Amino acid sequence: MSGHSKWAGIKHKKAVVDARRGQAFTRASREVTIAAREGGGDPEHNFRLRLAVQKAREVNMPTDKIQAAIDRGTGAAKGESLEELRYEGYGPAGVAILVDAVTDNRNRTAPAIRRVFSKHGGNLGESNSVAWMFDRKGVITVRPGDKDPEEIGLAAIEAGADDVQVEPESVEITTDPAAFEDVRAAVEQLGIAVENAELTMQPRQTVAVEEDKAAAVLRLLEALEEDDDVQQVYANFDIPADVLERASASV
């Protein structure tokens, strides 16, 4: 499992996730609104909206709140004017970082992101300074339970997956965005619950981070994720699992 995927798994287990439920609602709502604005309000004909609605349900957003976010996107209801922005930079140990934000005021967001990078030993870069190091991919993580991981992997590959990584307690499947839904459906048909499914930015190559720099990298990523305008943070670090566990405990 990639370093960033492992870090995502650790974050899901942290109690702080519950403490940030309001922030999770805001992020999910904004993604629904942006998706509806770009592709219309029908999830059946708008893949991005369909995925956004699924993610909103995963954080237990009420149905009426989801519909309200869709209405804001389609113009059926008034709402704030939102803009998607991407920031790129480097963190400690030369780790490349992408930050996707949704904001109603870029003059607030840009300086805030710059300050976070600077405070935590990183620096904000120019457009496409690191984006070329990442590819858009779908990542699906499942818990095999009593199912044979090889059977899961075979079903995923037959449905169009690019890669399958088997861990002791999970199976991570990587797909092109176009095959994402087919692969997810194929896995679910085996009677397996999907633990996490998302479109993400995967690094083409990773940067090995020594233990003395690991906590600094994680502190920067967490500080970026705490900003209310930030939707997603991607990075190309590679930190061994045992080091990651120790470093995350100190963040």
Q: At residue 9, does pLDDT exceed 90?
A: no
Q: How confident is the model at residue 6 (pLDDT cuts 50, 70, 90)?
A: low
**DSSP per-residue letters across 160-186:** T-SEEEE-SS-EEEEE-GGGHHHHHHH
Burial of 139 (0-12, 13-18, 19+ CB in 10 A): buried
Q: What is residue 15's predicted lDDT score, i.e. its pLDDT?
A: 39
Instruction: Give ranges for CATH 1.10.10.200 in the chain.
Output: 3-74
pLDDT digits (tens, 9 = 90+) for 127-149: 999 999 999 999 999 988 888 99
Q: What is residue 241's predicted lDDT score, i.e. its pLDDT?
A: 80
Q: What is residue 70's predicted lDDT score, i.e. its pLDDT?
A: 95
**Architecture label for domain 134-203:** 2-Layer Sandwich (3.30)
The fold adopted by the segment(s) 3-74 is Arc Repressor Mutant, subunit A (1.10.10)
Q: What would the mean pLDDT of 25-30 be, rounded to a whole number?
A: 90
Give dist(CA 198, CA 196) in Å, integer.
7
Q: What is residue 48's predicted lDDT score, i.e. its pLDDT?
A: 92
Q: What would the mean pLDDT of 179-184 be, rounded to a whole number?
A: 94
pLDDT digits (tens, 9 = 90+) for 185-210: 999 999 988 888 889 999 999 999 99
**Letter string b/e over residues 204-231, b meaning 16 or more CB atoms within 10 A of that residue's CB:** eebbebeeebbbbbbbbbbbbbebebbb
**What pTM was computed for the model?**
0.84
Q: Which CATH number fits domain 83-132+205-249: 3.30.200.20, 3.40.640.10, 3.30.70.980, 3.20.20.70?
A: 3.30.70.980
Longest Cα–Cα distance in the chain: 52
Report the chain's terminal Cα–Cα distance, integer Å. Answer: 21
Q: What is residue 53's predicted lDDT score, i.e. its pLDDT?
A: 95
Instruction: Give ranges for CATH 3.30.70.980 in the chain.
Output: 83-132+205-249, 134-203
Closest Cα to residue 114, out of 145, 89, 136?
89
Q: What is residue 5's predicted lDDT score, i.e. its pLDDT?
A: 54
Q: How confident is the model at residue 176 (pLDDT cuts 50, 70, 90)?
A: very high
SS3 for 29? helix
